[in-house]
Amino acid sequence: MSNRLATWRHPLIEGLAVLCGILVAFAIDAWWQQRTDRVTERELLRALAAELADARDGFEGHSTSLRAEFDLSAEVIRVLSSSDARSIPNDSLWGLTRRLTPPTIFHAPRAALDDLTSSGGIALIRSDPLRRGIASYRQSLEEDARVQALLLDIWLTHLAPYLYEHSTLTLPPGVSSSPGALTLPTVPLRVDRDAYLGNRTYQNLVAARAFRVQDVRRSHDMVLDQLGHLLGLVEGR
């Protein structure tokens, strides 16, 4: 009887030992994977925090430059609609209208954000509020890019063609370019004064540009709100 008991007990003990070994191996592997995920999560969030700080500086700086662009638009409208506008010399009129250059467009840094959301790293973020904050920030960036595109469209489809038709784009005689810049031949300065002085169409185009600038500044403010909230969540981890 004892021999039969020993015959089946030995394989059972060996099987239990193998099973315990497998379970321990699984536990160690799961622990190591969890540790690796936490390290990766910290690295992703550290990169995101640095990127958000850079983006915040960029948006604030761009908002300041947009305020200057808005003020310039207001000044152009004021000067060209003033009672003594007709006395403005052609070269001054040319210089004033040429100050309305193509709008500056700000592209926020988003390499860390895209790496987090496109590579599956978002699944490593354990905090639900943090995941929602990342999604909201990404949506605000996309909306901001759309609003900036509308500002650029005002220039490309309306103001630039107006300048092509009613002004001289190359430098007139006596106006020098920056040192080392490539230049075109100078041509006599011709400005269609009636197209600018007290002209309602041109004033409306400049005003439309100013309104779009304001839209972008408001959009930047909303992005900064989302950015500040997200940065607080990241730094609180």
- Phi and psi at 174, nearest 5°, equal 90, -10
pLDDT value of position 183: 65
In this predicted model, which residue has the larger pLDDT, 20 or 206? Answer: 206
Q: Rounded mean pLDDT of 134-159?
A: 96
Distance, first Cα to last Cα, the chain = 64
On the question of pLDDT at 51 being above 60, the answer is yes
On the question of pLDDT at 46 being above 60, the answer is yes
**Spatial separation of the C-alpha atoms in residues 180 and 184, rounded to whole Å:** 13
pLDDT tens sequence across 79-111: 999 989 899 998 888 888 888 889 999 999 999
On the question of pLDDT at 65 being above 80, the answer is yes
User: Per the confidence metrics, is the pTM higher than 0.85?
Assistant: no
pLDDT band at 31 (very low <50, low <70, confident <90, very high): very low
